[in-house]
A and B are shown apart, each in its own frame.
Chain A
Amino acid sequence: MMRRLTVPYVLFSIWVVVLCMLPFVESSYFVHLATNIALFTILAQSWNFIGGFSGYPSFSTAAFFGLGAYAGAITQNMGLPMELAWIFATVLVSALAALFGFILLRLRGHYFAIGSIAIVEVLRLAIASATDLTGGGNGMNVRFLPGGPEYVGMVFLYTMVGLMVLVFALTVWVDKSRFGFGLRCIRQNEDAANMVGINTNLYKIFAYVLSASFCGTVGAIYASWTGYIDPTDSFEILLTLKVPVMAMLGGAGTVIGPVLGAAAFSLLEEIFWANFLEYNRAILGVVIVILIFFLPRGLLNLDYHTLHRRLRHNAGRNPREPSE
């Protein structure tokens, strides 16, 4: 298992280089697209900590993304330098995620999923009603970065890609660490995990915070990038659904899966937007259904090894049969 990990590293490195080269070879459309892909990759990688490694189907991505966007925008408008505003947003979101996680992670399965999605709505309403601070439904403007669109485009692309590399490195660490091992145990059998000595609540909260904090950073960067945010856009339910689909498309609980899934999904979405403007959501829905039906464990797990095992499994469903 450890040996095979070198392939993801190589793939990821190539992917990072491709994204970074885009400003030099292609139009600003591609720079925008690349930044978007990096953004979704970070979100999918983040979701992977709680949804993939720990197996808790969290739908709170948009909650932390939106909260980060507002925390960044508000502090930036109050005069905080952009980078500090991003860090502030990250810290604030992490702290709130710890609090929400402490309450929510007592729930399991569907109940947790519903609870996690409720956070999105609660925060959206709270932000929309705090008119004095957030501008309410009118949204709020954030100062644009000076230097012309091309320069700004590059700054945000490299920031996003840099963060993507950071979260990837973190994923690699989690994958190999005692912490990641514990999360996998929790995913497969939480009671048994507790019984072998894993402080399951602490592990889950930590995974949840880890999955939230970078959503906060990305939200804040997004606010600075687009220059305008509003509650509907920042706390978009579609975002909260898309991100887990991306991670699962690639392979939840794996290192490279979310990267692969986010890239594949974003490119598909782009193609459908461009060619089928009216039906793109419908087509996307069909694609999701097909993917879930035929690739329940993601693109990554569709390799010869599993296919072979599945065929053997189907051929002889005899539990007493010794299987080496």
Chain B
Amino acid sequence: MTNQPILKVTSVARNFGGIVAVRDVSFELAAGEIVGLIGPNGAGKTTLINLITGVYPANSGSIVFDGADVTGQKPFQAARRGIARTFQIVQPFPEMTVLQNVTAGALFARQSGSITDAVEESREHLKFVGLADLAETPAASLTLPNRKRLELAKSLAMRPRLLLLDEVNAGLNPTEISGALDLIRDISARGITIVIIEHLMKVVFSLSHRILVLHHGELISGGLPNEVAKDERVVEAYLGSKFAERQRSLSNNG
């Protein structure tokens, strides 16, 4: 990778009281990549996202986004710089309509621009995620898959360069997941760098160009999906022996 990385995380750490949630994590993201961030429950994946977006300050280490040091930034600053995220538990503005929710993203992630322009632009994003028909519905009355779509549309309206997806597929059925995957690929095709946290192995491995594995707050492995799947530390920490055996037999047969 000769290009400058869009995100460079160096030795970042964060603890809550005596519990170390993220320990000495370093990685880089190249522009346009889809990177899967995996790890068992409590591995520190969401905390890492929270550190990148400024929800919590890091106790040590540095975060450089697009050449600028953003280590101590606040979430609203991250948003304005072009880092958007979705939440594991969706966070809509419940009483607002779907359209207004997306408008909030379009309006505030940039310093200027009128509400009317933001509304117009938001309609495009709603069309993109397939919610155009529900534009005037209150966000609180959406079904779960639609709320996830709304989260995506809201993030996209922020015109991010880096999009952090925290379990966008959790709670969706297989049909809904495949729809969500197509969406994520389309977003990636727009040149947006994507980090995706995901529990469903099939999803991460089919989607990601590269995988990072967190365990007990430490980055224990990273690389191409099939390399990571064979990594013994990852197998031990996360995937379990059954999955590893199946992988092995598959590669032997193939």
Q: Is A32 engaged at the interface, CB distance under 8 Å to the other chain? A: no
Assess A194 versus B75: contact at CB under 8 Å? Given A178-B107, A323-B141.
Answer: yes
| A200 near B143: Cβ-Cβ < 8 Å | no
Which A125-160 residues have a C-beta within 8 angstroms of B?
none
| B115 near A196: Cβ-Cβ < 8 Å | no
| B96 near A197: Cβ-Cβ < 8 Å | no
What is the CB-to-nearest-CB distance from A80 to chain B, in angstroms, rounded to a whole number? 40
| B108 near A198: Cβ-Cβ < 8 Å | yes
Q: Is B105 engaged at the interface, CB distance under 8 Å to the other chain? A: yes
The residues of A that contact B212 with a CB separation of less than 8 Å are none
| A192 near B96: Cβ-Cβ < 8 Å | no
Q: Is B158 engaged at the interface, CB distance under 8 Å to the other chain? A: yes
Nearest-neighbor residue (CB-CB) of B146 within chain A: A322
Assess A194 versus B107: contact at CB under 8 Å? Given A188-B94, A189-B94, A323-B137.
Answer: no
- In the bound assembly, the distance between CA atoms of A198 and B75 in angstroms comes to 9
What is the CB-to-nearest-CB distance from B79 to chain A, in angstroms, rounded to a whole number? 3
| B79 near A195: Cβ-Cβ < 8 Å | yes
Contact residues of A: prevailing secondary structure: helix
What is the CB-to-nearest-CB distance from B114 to chain A, in angstroms, rounded to a whole number? 8
Q: Which listed residue (A176, A189, A320) contacts B143, Cβ 8 A?
A: A320
The residues of B that contact A184 with a CB separation of less than 8 Å are 93, 96
Assess A196 versus B104: contact at CB under 8 Å? Given A184-B93, A189-B92, A189-B94.
Answer: yes
- In the bound assembly, the distance between CA atoms of A200 and B74 in angstroms comes to 10
The residues of A that contact B137 with a CB separation of less than 8 Å are 323-324
Q: Which listed residue (B75, B92, B109, B115) contacts A181, Cβ 8 A?
A: B115
- In the bound assembly, the distance between CA atoms of A176 and B85 in angstroms comes to 27
| B92 near A195: Cβ-Cβ < 8 Å | no
| A189 near B53: Cβ-Cβ < 8 Å | no
Nearest-neighbor residue (CB-CB) of B109 within chain A: A197
- In the bound assembly, the distance between CA atoms of A319 and B134 in angstroms comes to 15
Q: Is B226 engaged at the interface, CB distance under 8 Å to the other chain? A: no
| B76 near A200: Cβ-Cβ < 8 Å | yes
The residues of A that contact B133 with a CB separation of less than 8 Å are 324
- In the bound assembly, the distance between CA atoms of A195 and B121 in angstroms comes to 19
- In the bound assembly, the distance between CA atoms of A232 and B178 in angstroms comes to 67
| B104 near A181: Cβ-Cβ < 8 Å | yes
Q: Interface digits, B14-33 against A, CB 8 Å rule (1 contact, 0 not)? A: 00000000000000000000
Q: Interface digits, A193-205 against B, CB 8 Å rule (1 contact, 0 not)? A: 1111111100000
What is the CB-to-nearest-CB distance from B138 to chain A, in angstroms, rounded to a whole number? 9
What is the CB-to-nearest-CB distance from A318 to chain B, in angstroms, rounded to a whole number? 10
| B143 near A192: Cβ-Cβ < 8 Å | no
| A192 near B76: Cβ-Cβ < 8 Å | no
Q: Which listed residue (B55, B80, B93, B103) contacts A197, Cβ 8 A?
A: B80
- In the bound assembly, the distance between CA atoms of A199 and B54 in angstroms comes to 13
Q: Which listed residue (B78, B96, B143) contacts A188, Cβ 8 A?
A: B96
| A197 near B158: Cβ-Cβ < 8 Å | yes
Nearest-neighbor residue (CB-CB) of B53 within chain A: A195
The residues of B that contact A178 with a CB separation of less than 8 Å are 107-108, 115
What is the CB-to-nearest-CB distance from A247 to chain B, in angstroms, rounded to a whole number? 17
- In the bound assembly, the distance between CA atoms of A137 and B154 in angstroms comes to 56
Assess A196 versus B141: contact at CB under 8 Å? Given A189-B92, A191-B91.
Answer: no
| A197 near B76: Cβ-Cβ < 8 Å | yes
Nearest-neighbor residue (CB-CB) of B112 within chain A: A178
Q: Which listed residue (A181, A195, A319) contacts B91, Cβ 8 A?
A: A195
Q: Which residues of B contact A (CB under 8 A)?
A: 53, 55, 74-76, 78-80, 84-85, 87, 91-96, 103-105, 107-110, 115, 133-134, 137, 141, 143, 154, 158
Apart from A182-B108, A195-B75: 6 A-B pairs, beta carbons within 8 A: A178-B107, A178-B115, A181-B104, A188-B94, A196-B154, A197-B80
Which 9 pairs show the lowest CB-CB distances between chains A and B?
A197-B79, A197-B108, A192-B91, A197-B109, A188-B93, A194-B75, A196-B105, A198-B108, A323-B141
Task: Identify 8 residue pairs between A and B in the complex whose beta-carbon atoms are under 8 Å apart, listed by A's number.
Answer: A178-B108, A181-B107, A189-B91, A196-B158, A197-B109, A197-B158, A198-B108, A199-B76
